Chain A
Amino acid sequence: MNQVNIAERSPRDLREFRPSNFKREIDLLTTSLRELNEMLQGLRNDTARDEASFRVTNPDGAHALAVGIDAPLDVEIAGHVGYYCGGMNKWARIVIDGNAGPGVGENMMSGLIHVRGDASQCAGATAHGGLLLIDGNASARCGISMKGVDIVVKGDIGHLSGFMGQTGRLVAFGDAGEALGDSLYEARIYVRGKVESFGADCIEKELRDEHRAELFALLRQAGEAHRVDVSEFRRYGSARKLYNFHIDNTGAY
């Protein structure tokens, strides 16, 4: 296993951020996307706080913005972004002051990605760790094949959310669309609103104290502790009937 202990340096709690007062401003009208990404990807863990803080202006929906970062940087993006923003993120805190296109935080490993607006499809797809926080709604396939990331969506999540989720937690303050948690493995899903329908092998499970505690810890990281009552959520998970092949289930595959 190629596991690293990233809890030490990786910010994943809104309260923990002490962003530098000095932010280096990068204007994407004058700096190319490639130049920006190469610079961010070139910075390492020992980067001084004042040199690790960026504000990106005029993103104008650019794709693959701030991807592949491997250092505890602080990147604020002033506007809407396109596909795959913050993909493969490690350590960094990325705040998007706008909407995010498909695949925000795809395969992120650690750190925090905070979308202040809505996120499009496949938010947090295949992500292994860190926290993806979405203030608005996330559309279809939120957390598809999630592998350890925590995703907190303050609005609704679209259809097929949590599809094949392996581990990690997916929390929605609002409603969930059709086929929630289809073919789910061990990801845990908490939804406060109504669930349109379940996908194959997804069932409601009892919300016990340990789950309330887990949920409370997630809400605290999202800066929502005591603002939302953890008892209002319901817990969903895998019935564990599909993920080992059984001949009687062929119709459900």
Chain B
Amino acid sequence: MCGIAGLFLKAPQLQPQLGGLLAQMTSTLCSRGPDSAGFALYTADAPSKSKLTLTSVGGRSDFEILAPVLSRSIGAPVLVTNRYTHAILTIPTDLTRTCRDWLVENAQDIRIVSEGASLEIYKEVGYPDEVARSFDIVSIAGTHGIAHTRMATESAVTTTGAHPFSTGPDQCLVHNGSLSNHASLRRELQRDGIVPQTENDTEVAAGYLTRELKRGKTLGEALKSSVDDLDGFFTFVVGTKNGFGVLRDPIACKPAVMAETEDYVAFASEYRSLTCLPGIKNARVFEPKPATPYFWEH
């Protein structure tokens, strides 16, 4: 099962509603994935600043005490914003590597969920509506976002095993399906310097796309080559800083429906999930074809 929702806004006036609309879309998909949920949102960015989304596997919630220590260590200001079990660290972009290394060394319970100029990821174990409420997803504005409700098949039900997965700056991916060649691909990615943090098959797919984008492919090209290189069932929705892409495996094993208007492009596992969107009755509603990458960019 699992459920996916994605929303890419073309109309700037809808941006304040991004979190609200995405949470509503996801709410319909609770029954498809009742064990955990996650939201990736592309929010406002600031020049030369990056955001790290953090969570703690040790149950820590006092992220604010990290800021002064990290700030002293790197010699630059660090801003912390708490959101339920996650926190956003806003840091100077050129010190991202230093901050990551510092966290690995000094805060071993911390996991970096995402990194990027505008990407923030919030994911947690629990019923998707509860997860959305706890993170107050409704209050988040942005340009595009993707969400996932999980019914786990390939790895444990944990916070870090929930989707979306992010393996590169401002990149994220959600997945409905299961991959069969993730073990061999994980070893290949490790050799190429991309080290998955979990045993989850979806993280391997995210890592694969990150590697291909690093090698200079466009999002469309990276999606296209994943049809050949990934084995298994998948419907993917991916996000980049400016883009939003969709790909289904050649068998089209998992459901997908899309809607497009002048104001947005939306994706969902079921049409029910799209009915909350403004102007949906006049939207062009279509099913994405198998093995065909679809992507939109701002």
Contacts and interface: CB of A to CB of B under 8 A. Distances in A.
Interface of A: 60-63, 79-83, 98-99, 101-102, 117-118, 120-121, 139-140, 158-159
Contact of B270 (A101, A118, A139, A159): A101
Interface in B245-260: 250-252, 255, 257
B270 A140 contact: no
Contacts of B275: 60-61
Interface string B2-27: 00000000000000000000000000
Interface in B31-89: none
A120 B285 contact: no
A98 B285 CA distance: 9
Given A80-B285, A99-B285, A140-B290, A61 B255 contact: no
Nearest to A83: B270
Interface residues of B, number: 17
Interface of B: 250-252, 255, 257, 270-275, 281, 285-287, 289-290
Nearest to B274: A61
Contacts of B285: 80, 98-99, 117-118
Nearest to A119: B287
Contacts of B272: 60-63, 82
Q: Quick one: which of B250, B271, B272, B275 has the most chain A CB within 10 A?
A: B271
Given A60-B272, A61-B275, A80-B271, A159 B290 contact: yes
Contacts of B290: 140, 158-159
B252 A140 contact: yes
Given A60-B275, A61-B274, A82-B272, A120 B281 contact: no
A62 B273 CA distance: 10
Contacts of B255: 101-102, 120-121
Contacts, number: 50
Q: Quick one: which of A80, A102, A121 has the most chain B CB within 10 A?
A: A80
Contacts of B287: 118, 120-121, 139
A61 B270 contact: yes
Contact of A158 (B252, B273, B274): B252
B252 A61 contact: no
Nearest to B276: A60
Contacts of A83: 270
A158 B286 CA distance: 13
A191 B287 CA distance: 21
B272 to A, nearest CB: 4
A122 B62 CA distance: 51
A198 B29 CA distance: 36
Contacts of B257: 101, 120
A61 B271 contact: yes
A159 B273 CA distance: 26
Contacts of A60: 272, 275
7 contacts: A61-B272, A79-B281, A98-B285, A101-B257, A118-B286, A140-B290, A158-B289
A81 B252 CA distance: 20
Nearest to A139: B287
A2 B274 CA distance: 42
